[in-house]
Amino acid sequence: MDKLIGLSLFSNIGVAEAYLDELQIEVAIANELEEKRARFYKYIYPNTEMIIGDITDEKIYKEIMQKSKEVGINFIIATPPCQGMSTAGKQDPNDKRNKLITYVIDAIKELKPKFVLLENVPQQLKTKISYNDKEILIPEYIKQELYNFYNINDKIVKCVEHKIPQSRERSIYLMVRKDINIQWNFPEPENKIVTLEDAIGYLPDIDPMIQEYKKDEKKLLEVFPNFYKKKAEGEKISKWHRPPVHKERHVTIMRYTPEGKSAFENEIYYPKKANGERISGHNNTYRRQLWDKPAYTITTYNGAICSYDNVHPGRYIGEDKNGYKIYSNPRVLTILELIIVMSLPIDWNIPEWADESLIRHSIGEGIPPLLIKKIFNELYKALNE
C-alpha cells in the first residue's frame, strides 16, 4: 500500500489533522487564507508546506496545484468555510464562501487523488450555488461533477456516536477513485455516550476574571475569595485551564443560573444592558450546559457568555446573604475544556504567541480530530483487506 500523502484545503490551524501523524499519514501541502492561522498550523506541523493566500486567486491556486503534483499527493481533505450556511451564522444563500466548494471540486478534477474527504455543516445539504447558470444544491453539484470519477459515500455524522463529548453533526463525503477497488466506509456508531461529567468533571473549578476588576484585586476577591487559589490549581493541570475574562454583569447573572438553564429564566438576575435595562433574547444564550449530556456544538464565539450554549454547567455552592442560590464556574469553557470536548490531544502544542481569540475561533471552526482518525482507520482497513 502506498503511503497516504495529502493536501489540506482551508486548513485552519490543523484541528482535523491532529492525529494523522499517529497513522503515518503525511499532509505534505496545506492552504490557509489567514496568515495567523497559517502560522499556527506551521508551528504545529513544521514538515507541511503551508501556502498562505486566497485559493480564489489564480496565482495561489496554481501554486497549490503545482506543488501538490510535485510531491505526488494521493488524497485531499477539505473543509470549506461554513459561515454562510451555519445555523450560528446568517445563512445567506449568496454568501461568497458557499461557492468555495467549486475550487475544491476543480482541485480534485485536476489532481485526481485516490481519496477525498470533504466535510461541512449539515446545512450544506440545503444550500444552493450557481452552476451552469442554474441554482443547484451543493450535494447535487458535487455528485454531478465527480460521479464519473469517484465512488461517493456521504453521511451526516453525529460526533456523540463516536465517543466525542460534543453534540456536533457534520456532513461528510468520502470518495474513492473508481479505479481503486475498495469501499471507504464510515466507522460504526459506538454505544457509549461521553458526557461533560465524563470529559471535564474531574477538572478543578475556575472562577472567571471580571473585566472591570482586572486592576482592582480587592473587588475581585470580594466576589471570588478563592480566585487565585483556584487559578493556581487549574494551572497545575494545564496552562490552558485558566480564567476566561467576562463582564461583571454577565458573571453576576450566571452565578444565579443553575445547570441547564438560561439566565433569561431568572426572575431577578437576568440579562441587562450596561444601563440596567432588561434585554430580550433567546433561551439558548446565557445558558448553562448539562453535566449528564455531551457539550453543545462548539461555535466560533465560544468565548462569549451571551452566545449560544457556551456556559460551564457549574455546581450548586450555597446561598448568598439574601438566600438566593448561587452556582460555581459562571464562565465559558476554558481552552483546556474546549480541547477536551473537541477531542484534541490534551498536550496539543499550541504556540505561546497565539491569543485567546485566535485559539477559540479556530477551534470553533474545526472538526473533532478523533472522528477524522476513526474515518481514516476505516480507509486503512479497506486498503489492507
Above 50 in pLDDT, residue 89?
no
- Percent of the chain predicted with pLDDT > 90: 86
Pick the residue with more confidence: 146 or 99? 146
Residue 41 has pLDDT above 80, yes or no: yes
The position carrying cell 486503512 is 380
Looking at residues 280-289, what average pLDDT do you find? 94
Q: Is the pLDDT of residue 87 over 80?
A: no
Q: Do β-strands 150-158 and 169-177 pair in parallel, antiparallel, or remain unpaired?
A: antiparallel
pLDDT score of 14 more than 90: yes
End-to-end CA distance of the chain: 11
77, 104 Cβ separation under 8 angstroms: no
Contact indicator for 162, 187 with CB cutoff of 8 Å: yes
Torsions phi, psi of 33, nearest 5? Answer: -70, -45
Q: pLDDT-derived band of residue 97, with 50, 70 and 90 as boundaries?
A: low
The answer to whether 159 is a known catalytic residue is no
The 3-state DSSP class for residue 260 equals coil
Nearest alpha-carbon partner for 161 in 201, 197, 188, 186:
188
Domains belonging to the chain, first-starting first, are 5-190+366-384 (3.40.50.150), 207-333 (no CATH)
Predicted TM-score of the model (pTM): 0.93
pLDDT at 88 over 50: no
309-348 per-position pLDDT tens digit:
999 999 999 999 999 999 999 999 999 999 999 999 999 9
Residue 15 CB burial class (10 angstroms; 0-12, 13-18, ≥19) = buried
In tens, the pLDDT along 141-192 reads 999 999 999 999 999 999 999 999 999 999 999 999 999 999 999 999 999 9
Tens of pLDDT, residues 224-261: 999 999 999 999 999 999 999 999 999 999 999 999 99
Which residues are registered as beta bridge partners of 83?
none
8 Å CB contact between 164 and 198 = no
Q: What percent of the chain has pLDDT over 70?
A: 95
Q: Which of 82, 107, 305, 371 is catalytic?
A: 82
> Hey, is 171 helix, strand or coil?
strand
Q: Which residues contact 244 (CB under 8 A, 6 or more apart)?
A: 206, 208, 209, 303, 331, 332, 334, 356
